[in-house]
Structure 1
Amino acid sequence: MTPRGPVTTRDRTYAVYYVPDVSGHWHHDQVVYAHPNGLCVVCLAERHPIVTGEAVPSSGDDDGGEGRAAATGDETDAAGGTSNGAAAATGDKRKREGDGEGGDGPGPEPGARGGRPSRHRPKGKYSPIASVDYTCGKGEGKGNEVNIRGKKKRGAKTLQENSGLCWLVDEAGMYWIARACVRGKLIETNERLAKEPQLCTRFPTASGFLAIISAAPADMQRLRETGMNREAYEALRAIEAR
């Protein structure tokens, strides 16, 4: 297990919920620090392969359908074209998800840093992080903007657990979509990551956090029921490493 340091104020105040294998991607784990007032800090888990720089473990069909065709070129490209058969059906689904609230959008544009990005590969390895792109599901040009008003957070975008939160793009153009992991209103994104994207890999659960989401009591309860505490998560990964 990962050695634990002294108990901090954060440890005493926030409950910790791990979400392993987000979107079915092997070892692509996230963690949510949940405050009793409903504020949830969404982060990459310390064992996420983008953080560790280790090869992505393979479980046979690691991409889970979402990334497989993008890596092989058989599915929808970033501009929205489709191929025949099952790939076209999958591409249509992605397009529908991108058009709606909380969808992934079309992805970083061709010609962006690293060229047209692909998803992670089952036995691949990420290069150093190049950018954290919050236009995921928001449309072009909105970036880190989160415009909310008043105590009721008017104007804040409501995210579902599986809503795309941001694109994490490495220097080779490979990318992975971080998810909200908890239903609620997006009230803050980490603006520092625009200039210092490496923070999310150097300090993923501190200054490199991804976003803050305000969750209702019912959504907090769902997170408690579906997330894993630290002990269960450490046991899961320790068992798999044997």
Structure 2
Amino acid sequence: MESSQQTTSTEQAEDQVRESQECEDEELRQLLAPDPSNLPLTPPSAVDSNFTSYFAPDFMKPGHDQYVYRHPNGLCIIGLAPTHVAFKDQGGITAVDFNVGKSDRSGFKVTGKRKKNAQHFESNTALCKVRTSYASYIVRCCVKGSLLEVNDRLVKNPALLNSSADREGYIAIIMPKPADWLKFKSSLLTLEEYKKMREKC
């Protein structure tokens, strides 16, 4: 009698292990070979996958719309939103100049883990000037933090702003302190809020 009870409990334990293994196998199958009907029509971009998108519409001046892509590690990529007034000028952006204020932003090189030589800027500090055939526009930091890098490729190839302002045409990378980011985040719009706002304009 005791032997048959032990056999039954052993079989039940084996059944539980088998069921658990089958569930894990099914989850793995769904990850490796997902249902095509549940997949998006276009795969998410690197920005969509790795960053949270925020927007600063009319930053300092009407039509000066900028984006802030924030990475989980705290880095913020700054650039021109697609609705920035500069893109409305015929011919688009023709030149980018990082020589603003008292210094050339592209001349500073940040080194090491401690980011030596990083400049600390306010959110309204000028990063660069972009020019079109008709006007020039100041692009600002948008967030208070340390300037780690500017995209100096834009000096030789300003057309990157016209073709891919949200990727290769970014302006700069800034590292804000967590406390400063939390303060400033509330003044930014999410992607959905930005789209709704600009659809009404």
2:198 counterpart residue number: 237
> 1:134 and 2:95 equivalent?
no
Q: Which has the higher helix share?
A: 2
**d(CA) in 1 for partners of 2:42 and 2:147?**
31
**d(CA) in 2 for partners of 1:5 and 1:208?**
22
> 1:30 and 2:30 equivalent?
no
Note the alpha carbon deviations across 1:83-116, whole angstroms, 9 max, x for none.
Answer: xxxxxxxxxxxxxxxxxxxxxxxxxxxxxxxxxx
The code of the aligned residue for 1:130 comes to: T
> 1:165 and 2:127 equivalent?
yes
Give the structure, 1 or 2, with the largest relative contact order (CA under 8 Å, sep 6 or more). 1
> 1:50 and 2:86 equivalent?
yes
**d(CA) in 1 for partners of 2:117 and 2:91?**
36
The code of the aligned residue for 2:71 comes to: H
Which runs of 5 or more residues in structure 1 are unaligned? Answer: 54-124
Any residues of structure 2 matched to 1:81-230 within 5 Å, and which? 125=89, 127-139=91-103, 142=104, 144-172=106-134, 174-230=135-191
The code of the aligned residue for 2:164 comes to: F
Instruction: From 43, 49, 52, give the equivalent of 1:6.
Output: 43
Q: Percent of counterpart pairs with the same letter?
A: 34
TM-score (norm 1): 0.62
**Secondary structure of 1:22's match?**
coil
**Secondary structure of 1:201's match?**
helix
CA contact (8 A) 1:160 1:182 kept: yes
Which ranges of 4 or more aligned residues in structure 1 deviate by more than 3 Å? 125-128
* Distance apart, 1:153 and its partner CA: 1.2
**d(CA) in 2 for partners of 1:39 and 1:131?**
26
Q: Which has the larger radius of gyration?
A: 2
TM-score (norm 2): 0.74
Note the alpha carbon deviations across 1:112-162, whole angstroms, 9 max, x for none.
Answer: xxxxxxxxxxxxx465322111111243xx351222232121211111111
Q: Which has the higher strand share?
A: 2
Instruction: From 1, 13, 16, give the equivalent of 2:53.
Output: 16
Cα RMSD for the two superposed structures = 1.8
**d(CA) in 1 for partners of 2:156 and 2:80?**
18
Deviates more, 1:190-199 or 1:8-17: 8-17
Note the alpha carbon deviations across 1:211-230, whole angstroms, 9 max, x for none.
Answer: 01111111221232111001
CA contact (8 A) 2:149 2:173 kept: yes
How many matched pairs?
161
CA contact (8 A) 1:133 1:143 kept: no
2:27 counterpart residue number: none
